[in-house]
Structure 1
């Protein structure tokens, strides 16, 4: 993260951490700092990125939720309705020994999909369900077309090498989801 912050700052991007957006105005963002003082940043283009939360229908449904994400069991189903399974951005599972749900990523959703398919088939067959255990393949982030950061296992990468890892990860996703034809058409292969 230090490398990414340094890279962004060297490329003219100013990061404001700990700032709380108060409002968006035409051509400006108004935020409050740690002392609750308001500041205004004028801009012709405003990009606001925030953490992922589920849709309001989740909150309004009466199901146990956290940030509008349905809380699932270790089998990715609901405690009160074991026949109902939830995966992806609208679901949340807190691994044993952790206090926070797993991150909402495509990598997680793909793994959840396979686990839920297995558990639905097991439930229909009357056999034992399998607890979902997530093993991350790593994390990558782009810092431009040919620059990035990555961590695979305990190894960390930056620059062009990390960008290559990002492209390979995308190609792998295309291959897993759509097969070779899709990977060749959509990926960088």
Structure 2
């Protein structure tokens, strides 16, 4: 595990594995109950029919963000641990291209890796096809790595956070993200009413 609480020594590695397995099962259960094991519910965001994906994911992000800030205020969490040990490096252009490819795969296939696993457990045939395609894509990427490996490791900006990029306190950045989330939630109501693809 690379979770900050484990790295801080809050519990042993074995306990960390048990916690990770428990969180995984709970996460999958919640995704299924939220309807995220069905590609139609996931892709509805692209047609402005149902924005629950944005609402759920943005809510989860904000909850984790506020939780970590509160833990840091209580002295139970050190942000240097997050930045120095668990935060992935920023490779600007490769990650931008990867994000576009991920988005296209999501829109076309109807799943992301996590929701595809939930779909497989739920017995969805399209999720099985998606997982097979994802594994094939991983193999193609690995086989062709000598060709695009230099691009993959290019534009290394190190471990960056938004508050570092904008040179503002992390609490101020958190407030801005919360305002952004509330604005997005407000706009989704109009998007769902608009539903241009249903007209």
Provide the TM-score with structure 1 as the length reference. Answer: 0.30
Q: Which has the higher helix share?
A: 2
Larger radius of gyration: 1
Normalized per residue, which structure has more strand? 1
What TM-score results when the alignment is normalised by the length of structure 2? 0.29
